[in-house]
Each structure stands twice: as C-alpha cells, then as structure tokens.
Amino acid sequence: MSVPQAIRELADMFDRLPGVGPRAALRYAYWLATQPKTTVKQFADKLSQLAAKIVACQVCGMWTETSPCSICADPRRDDGQLCIVANSQDIRVLEDASVFQGKYHVLGGLLDPIEGRTPDTLQINNLLNKLKDPNSKIREVVLALDPDVSGDTTSMYLMRQLAGLPISISRLARGIPTGAQIEYADEATITDAYLNRRRTKD
C-alpha cells in the first residue's frame, strides 16, 4: 500500500528519535493523521516553540529558556562543587533528588569513538578551561556519568586530564539497587557494591 508522502516524511522524522524504529515511527505518524487538525497544529506549535525558545546555557551547557540558567545564576549554589553530567536530563534527576547543591557542566554526550563522539566533539575543552582558570573557585568535581563502558571511558579520560589540578575528584557510588536480588546481579555490579560498601559498626 502506498503511504502518503506527508505521513512518510513525518515517520522519517520520528524514526530519528532514540528508541523509535521504523514501525513505531509510522504508527506515530498515522496516529497524528487521525487527530483533529487543532491537535496536530498544537503539536507543531510546541515543536516550533522548542526551536525558538530553548537555548544552551553559556555557562553550564544545560538546555534552558534563559542564559545563564536558573542554577548558574543562583547565588545560593556552591561554586566550589561542579557536577559533570552527560546530558541536560541528567541534571533534572539529580535536582529531583535534592542532594547536590553545587553547579553543573554538561558534556553533551559520552565518549564513543565508534559513534564519532571524541573529546573534540564534546564540551570537554570548555570544562578543562573552566577548571584551569586561575580565578576558578572549584575545589571538587563530581563525575555523575552512566555506569557503562562509555561512562567509564569518559570518566577515566577526565580523571587523566584533571590529574595535575588541585581539585578532588569523586564518582557516584554504584552497586546493587534497592529491591534487587543478589543472585541476578552481574559481576561488575557485585564488585562495585563490595568496593563501595558502608560500615555499620566499627
């Protein structure tokens, strides 16, 4: 069956989204085609607003409507702590937990040479310049990167680059999540859980 060009082109756009395959993309496109025209126009308007209003914060790189963003502009935040994250959505998770009161730096992804993500394609040089600035107040860097191959590779690269600076470096602890069963945990998870164990009695 011939697919109308407008639906096919929209499906091609949906197909670019992470986790969306060709079948799901086509299903989304057909679903929109069945909606009232007002709904489709609202959808289009929201996308236009996204393109027009969202910018990257010139300080941390987070997606925001104002630059500097509300976090960078907040004088109550600790200028001595800098949390390194891969993407803007990681900041939301940390902020929802209300455990970090410093500021952030968004890399814009994780190192993955196979996918073409090398140090020069990420915001790593900006980070190094920020940390090497003689007027910098940063005393601790927290690496909040995914506990996978790309996250570990990026963390190791950053730790090598920051080795000569008078800055303490820490990583988020990893281990067995709440509610999980030990018998289903892999070796890496068990190792991290053991190395990051907490004493309950001396």
What pLDDT does residue 31 have?
96
pLDDT in tens, 105-161: 999 999 998 888 999 999 999 999 999 999 999 999 999 998 888 999 999 999 999
Instruction: Answer yes or no: do 67 and 167 share one domain.
Output: yes
What pLDDT does residue 192 have?
77
Instruction: Answer yes or no: do 80 and 110 share one domain.
Output: yes
Residue 201 has pLDDT above 70, yes or no: no
- 74: domain range? 63-171
Q: Residue 126 is part of a domain; what is its CATH number?
A: 3.40.1360.10
pLDDT in tens, 15-49: 999 999 999 999 999 999 999 999 999 999 999 99
Instruction: Answer yes or no: do 27 and 115 share one domain.
Output: no
Q: Residue 19 is part of a domain; what is its CATH number?
A: 1.10.8.420
Residue 189 has pLDDT above 80, yes or no: no
List, in sequence order, every residue forming a beta bridge with 103; answer none if it has no partner: 82
Instruction: Answer yes or no: do 102 and 137 share one domain.
Output: yes
Instruction: Answer yes or no: do 33 and 11 share one domain.
Output: yes
Which burial class, exposed, middle or buried, applies to 61 when counting CB atoms under 10 A from its CB (0-12, 13-18, 19+)? buried
Confidence of residue 80 (pLDDT cuts 50, 70, 90): very high
Instruction: Answer yes or no: do 74 and 161 share one domain.
Output: yes
Alpha carbon distance 48, 58 (integer Å): 22
Alpha carbon distance 154, 137 (integer Å): 23
Amino acid identity, residue 28? Y
Instruction: Answer yes or no: do 28 and 67 share one domain.
Output: no
Confidence of residue 186 (pLDDT cuts 50, 70, 90): confident
Averaged pLDDT for residues 4-20: 95
| Residue 180 belongs to some domain of the structure | no
Instruction: Answer yes or no: do 29 and 88 share one domain.
Output: no
What pLDDT does residue 1 have?
62
In the block, residue with structure tokens 């920051």: 162
How high is the mean pLDDT of the chain? 90
Instruction: Answer yes or no: do 96 and 120 share one domain.
Output: yes
Instruction: Answer yes or no: do 141 and 68 share one domain.
Output: yes
Confidence of residue 199 (pLDDT cuts 50, 70, 90): low
pTM of the model: 0.83
| Residue 197 belongs to some domain of the structure | no
